[in-house]
Structure 1
Amino acid sequence: MNEIRTLGKSGSKLLSKLSAINKTTFTVEDAQYVLPEKSYDALRQLLSRLVRSGWLIRLKGGKYLMVPLEAESPDMWSEDSFVLASASVSGSSTVPARAHVSNPNFKIQYAEYAISYWSALNYYGYTEQIPRTVFVSAPKRETSTSQAILDVPYRLVFLSPKKFFGLAIVWQDNKPVQITDKEKTIIDCLDRPRLCGGIVEAAKGLSEGFKDGIDFSKLSSYARQIGNATVFKRLGFLAESLELPVETWLDDWQKSISKGYSLLDPTQPKQGQYNARWHLIINVLEPNLISKKGSK
């Protein structure tokens, strides 16, 4: 027999107090603070009951996400997938974030995560593909790299601190969520094409980003900051294949490539023509890339 889906007196008091202080994501210690009369064991039992009845979602690291009290029924409520990722991962690192926020008057505590790679590419409309998995990057290694919340799979991608930059704030369901900005999203996809569906998806991102007016000065700066010479190889080759007007940047990108040959697409076999200009093995048919080009 299913447990009756009710908050109960203690559950109602707990969630009401947490909601009043805007603690939609909380820990057992937070719960102890608002219900000091409860023993630790009794509190854990209460939290377990609220999880079973659907009013709480257990996240990793001993954290819980509260279903809004105004929800008609917990099983009729669904949170935005980016917001869930934010609730699950935020605060997982102590490495300072370097964010670019368009509104200088907006103040927020920057957490150490960012919606990224294929998910960010889709958010900006740079690909028509809708990845089922939500990609989240963070600069601290945890014990797990994947999980599912409300049946949505998440992949946590760990970065070295020097690669964790280029962040922006977007609003989902009236909640701030951290995401890689447009230029960093494209550079990330060129750095690790496996995490955006392959180099063809990265080519779409570069083409659509150009039409969207991305800042190529920032793009070039990000490519240098990420510290992977192969990014310049892919960036230069794709920009020329897509016939983007970036002549002023090509010499600088050329000087930044390494001597060895890299795969254009690491998701494909190591075979194809050797491109001496960009030191790439072209293991993807160029028509597939050129078909992504467009004019501004």
Structure 2
Amino acid sequence: MEQMNFAAKISLKVFKTSYIYTSCNPKTHFSGLIDTQYVMADSVYKSKNLTSEQLHFLKRIEEEEILYFQLAEIEKELHESYTNLNEILENLVEKGILIRLEKGKYCKANFSDLNVLASFISNGGTIAYWSALHFHNLTDRFPNTTFVKTNYRKRNTNILGSTIQFVYTKREKRIGAIHMGYGQNAYAITNMEATLVDCFDQPRYAGDWADLLRAFYLADVSSEKMIEYTKAYQNQSLIKRMGYLAELFNKKKLMDFVDYAKTQTGKRYILLEPGGLDKGIFVKRWKIRLNIDENSIMQIIESGY
């Protein structure tokens, strides 16, 4: 095997037919499997072990503390060019040191922050819906899907065995984001108010209706932001549902929002639970039909289901 002149501490161990390559740098999470098995396109040179060029590339991204990158930009980030960059990356993917997230986008094999990676491949999308409910401790149920709001259409994908679902929204709905982490560990996620408005706007991305009811009951939110965000969404149904529930839950901080919501009821009745059975009593002041009665709502809140 070629000599590994590398800045970080390195250990090499033979395990069956593979070499294990690790680095001790906790900031960059650098480690990976160098497998002697390889299957690549015939046009790409297949190296059985790490070459000097591959080692140099790894050294450089380690030095720059790069966790993920785009093919089109990595040479600029490293301040150097490569004549065979595609070949280097393909070999490092085959050896398990890098993971190809999608065409032209890569990350280190053991960097596993899905919020960061989902934001990266969506070009700055915002973590939202059920994922944000869980982040804000408004639901105990852990979503198997990471939901990302984007202002363009993008196919859902899979990263590290988890589904990433992209939800296209109009630009005016890209509001209420907060920023978490620093550097390459940074990502945007909706704040508590925007998360709830999103979920009432698109409840199919919020788990189930019982989860959403309990989340709204638990949330400590402000009238000012609720009014601002619901105005931007221009969705009368979500305003009526949230206004009715805020009044039912006696959320004192939301009394201004309740007063505002009462001015937005219109003339058409809607079902409280969207997609539920068309039954129940009519609440005239809210123009809502309670297809789930108030006693059942309070039981859901108390039980968590």
* 55, 58, 63: which one aligns with 1:20: 63
Distance in structure 2 (CA, Å) of the matches to 1:292 and 1:30 = 50
Task: Specify the SS of the correspondent of 1:14.
Answer: helix
Q: Do residues 36 (structure 1) and 81 (structure 2) align? A: yes
The alpha-carbon deviation at position 82 of structure 1 amounts to 1.3
Aligned equivalents of 1:85, 1:189: Cα separation in 2? 19
Partner in structure 2 of residue 273 of structure 1: 281
1:290 deviation in Å?
1.6
Is 1:88 equivalent to 2:110 in the alignment?
Answer: no
Equivalent residue, structure 2, for 1:238: 245
2 CA distance for matches of 1:8 and 1:288? Answer: 66
SS in 2 for 1:137: strand
* Structure 2 runs not aligned, ≥5 long: 1-16, 19-34, 38-48
User: For residues 270 and 11 of structure 1, what CA distance do their matches in structure 2 show?
Assistant: 63
The answer to whether 1:55 aligns with 2:55 is: no
SS in 1 for 2:72: helix
Aligned mate of 1:117, from 129, 136, 141: 129
Aligned to 2:88: 46
Cα offsets for 1:241-290 (capped at 9, x unmatched): 22322444323211123322223223434444333222223333433422
Cα distance in 1, alignment partners of residues 269 and 50 from structure 2? 61
Structure 1 counterpart of 2:189: 179
Counterpart amino acid of residue 4 in structure 1: T
Secondary structure of 1:291's partner?
helix
Q: How many residues align?
A: 256
Higher CA-based Rg: 2
Distance 1:172 1:270, change over 3 A: farther
Residue 131 of structure 1 corresponds to: 143
**Given that residues 139 and 161 in structure 1 are in contact (C-alpha distance below 8 angstroms), is that contact kept between their aligned partners in structure 2?**
yes
Query: Which structure's relative contact order is higher, taking Cα pairs within 8 Å and 6+ residues apart?
Result: 1
Secondary structure (helix, strand or coil) at the match of 2:36 reads coil
Alignment-mate amino acid for residue 87 of structure 2: Q
Retained in 2: the 8 A contact 1:83–1:172?
no
TM-score by length of 1: 0.77
Contact between 1:230 and 1:258, CA under 8 Å: does it hold in 2? Answer: no
The CA RMSD measured in Å over matched residues stands at 2.6
The alpha-carbon deviation at position 159 of structure 1 amounts to: 0.4
Of the structure 1 ranges 264-273 and 151-160, higher mean CA displacement relative to structure 2 is found in 264-273
SS of alignment partner, residue 162 of structure 1: helix
Aligned residue in 2 for 1:257: 265
In the TM superposition, residue 155 of structure 1 has moved relative to its aligned partner by: 0.7
Cα offset for 1:126? 0.7
Q: Percent identity?
A: 26
Structure 1 contact 241–289 (Cα < 8 Å) conserved:
no
Whether 1:228 and 2:273 are equivalent positions in the alignment is no
Structure number having the greater strand percentage: 2
CA distance in 2 between partners of 1:28 and 1:174 (Å): 16
CA–CA distance in 2 between the matches of 1:290 and 1:273?
17
Q: In 2, distance between residues paired with 1:53 and 1:258? A: 61
Unaligned runs of 5+ in 1: 68-76, 92-110
